[in-house]
Amino acid sequence: MTTYTYLALGDSYTIGESISLQHSFPYQVVSLLRKMGHPFSAPEMIAKTGWTTHELLAAMEGYTFLPKYNFITLCIGVNNQYRKGSVEEYKVDLERLLKKSIQLADHKNEHVILLSIPDYSITPFAAPLNPDETRKALDLFNSVGKALSLQYKVRYADIAPGTRAAGEDISLLADDGLHPSMKEYKKWAEEVSALAANFLKK
């Protein structure tokens, strides 16, 4: 029986900052897919809190990958926006990341899932940072991601709108008042695993 492989690329949202690794969305994705009958090894992660697209690309340069992966998730960009990086630079970097991801997914575009950048403007952390401006900036960055997902024919999980519910439900946030809780990550995992299950059947 084939054991599937999954590569998760990103930043703090991928490793599950402020919660246990087992409750991060990639680990919850694998758990859900296993329950569906798809044998999976543990998710392989290249992610670190604070990383921008540029830092993720740099980390990937010296990394030894498997020859191919059954599917890949990419969730990156919040630190580009937080550090006031340009949208143009983000687009260039994200395009490179998508091309590399498609290559690692055995050139199967639909086996790459791009997640939108979560909307942290509603968190206590963002309260002093002009939440309206933050939200508009995140929407702009996400519009770039959405357009590139269509251009490169990868799957797109738009989790950003759902993350705004944390503005009314504090249980969706971790104790740091910024990152998602296990409960919020479960919603992401359900969406990602549903997308992955579609092509794992083929």
pLDDT of residue 21: 96
Rounded distance between C-alpha atoms, residue 109 and residue 102, angstroms: 5
What proportion of the chain, given as a percentage, has pLDDT over 90? 97
User: Residue 202's pLDDT band (boundaries 50, 70, 90)?
Assistant: low
Residue 155 neighbours by CB distance under 10 Å: 19
Q: Which residues 6+ apart lie within 8 Å of 38 measured at CB?
A: 4, 197, 200
**β-bridge pairing 112-115 and 44-47:** unpaired
Length of the chain: 202
What is the pLDDT, as a whole number, of residue 121? Answer: 97
**Model pTM above 0.75:** yes
Could you tell me where the beta strands, DSSP code E, fall in the chain? 6-10, 44-47, 71-75, 112-115, 155-157
Query: 161: how many CB neighbours lie within 10 A of its CB?
Result: 11
Indicate the SS3 state at residue 140. helix
**Homologous superfamily (CATH) for 6-200:** SGNH hydrolase (3.40.50.1110)
* pLDDT grade for 2, boundaries at 50, 70 and 90: confident
111, two tokens: 């086996």
DSSP state of 176: T
DSSP code of 85? -
Task: Round to whole Å and give the CA distance between 115 and 137.
Answer: 17
Tell me the mean pLDDT in the region 144-158: 98
Band of pLDDT at residue 201, cut at 50, 70 and 90: confident
